[in-house]
Amino acid sequence: MPKIRIGLIGYGGIGRVHAAAYRAIPFHYGLPADSIEIAGVATTRRQTAERAAEEIGCDFFTDDYRDLLRRPGIDAVDICTPNNTHHEIVLAAAEAGAHIYCEKPLAMNVAEAASMARVVQAAGLKAQVTFNFRFFPAVTRAKQLVDAGFLGRIFSFRGRYHRSSYIDGDKPMSWRLQREITGGGALFDLGSHILDLLYYVLGEFDSVNGTLETLIKERPTTKGSAELAPVAVDDIALLHARTADGALGTVEISRMGTGATNDLSFEIFGQQGAIRFDLGEPAWLSVYDARAAEGPQGGERGFRKIEAVSRYAGQRAPDWTMSPDFMRAHAECQYQFIRAIWDGSLPAPSFADGAHVQKVMAAAERSSELGAWARLDDI
């Protein structure tokens, strides 16, 4: 397999995660250590770019991502920048002929997402979105069971993603609280993840009825400042949703979940069974089989845990019995992108997938504004 040379654009917290994951992939799959190389890094300031290059161990750094795209031998770019830059960088990367790996959410709005999906398809490039939670083996097992008909007709579902990252009213403004940079609040930041998981397992959404609220409407402009700035993005999003197949569900998204660290879960209820996934127990999937024998004491019925642990196809290390973690899910997402470049397969989650999630979020925003259901076909 030819060496893949990656240009990393952005090196905040998530950029560091991506860099670490690329370094880990060869060890997971028994590949040569130099099969994946971060060949350069770009940030918005030369000083931070130089520090990033020192951490990563690459020779090239710049404060202009275009310089990185002009470098000979860059096969792919990894975009770890704020949401309002994704569209511009993707179009520039496509023009440069680089494959593209982009952080979620894909874009600021539906029009941008659709444009990005069209451009990469027309250019014949591999393009993938960072929906890393898909790559916990228990989520993969959930999809397998749904696709195999284990649950029978799907009646309903419930998804939840809560964090407590903004419960402190004295926490100052940041780029994540500015609509002109993010496009949205908790819905975009956290909601894109749980909505993608439900889409991945259940299929396309049809319509949404959402309520979005900003619970802390002003925050200090900087830490400790008496000057306050308005918050124009949502802190919490509560959705009723219907899939294209007619299943009804609820989705709770909040950055104000007091006591929650990174609480993500979903449940799916069908005529013949049910499943539950909880990120707190990423190695296991809870399964209920309604076809099990029922006796005087309940027989064999009841939720039971089935193992998924670290069952990644082709993995050499760690041993399959070990529990996966957040970093392993990122590494797997990035590995699937690299594999698509190597073997010509279709990358997933694709930009088309990212564009569908973007439509769901736009429908939720419109629904909240109108106080009525919003169909994705009307977005």
pTM above 0.75, yes or no: yes
pLDDT single digits (tens) 60-71: 999 999 999 999
- Is the peptide bond preceding residue 349 cis, with omega within 30 degrees of 0? yes
User: What is the reported pLDDT for 296?
Assistant: 62
The answer on 195 and 80 residing in a single domain is no
> 313 φ, ψ to 5°?
-60, 125
Euclidean distance between CA atoms 258 and 242, whole angstroms: 28
Of 86, 139, 96, the closest CA to residue 354 belongs to 86
From 74, 99, 133, give the residue that closes a domain.
133
- 222, two tokens: 């900087």
pLDDT single digits (tens) 340-360: 999 999 999 999 999 999 999
Please give the helix or strand (H or E) that residue 361 lies within, else none. helix 351-370
pLDDT single digits (tens) 151-208: 999 999 999 999 999 999 999 999 999 999 999 999 999 999 999 999 999 999 999 9
User: What is the reported pLDDT for 293?
Assistant: 67
pLDDT single digits (tens) 196-250: 999 999 999 999 999 999 999 999 999 999 999 999 999 999 999 999 999 999 9
Structural domain tally of the chain?
2
Show the domain range for 17.
4-133
From 71, 102, 133, give the residue that closes a domain.
133
Strands 273-278 and 284-289: antiparallel
Instruction: Decide: residue 153, CB within 10 A, 0-12 exposed, 13-18 middle, 19+ buried.
Output: exposed
- 306, two tokens: 């089935």
CATH code for the domain of 95: 3.40.50.720
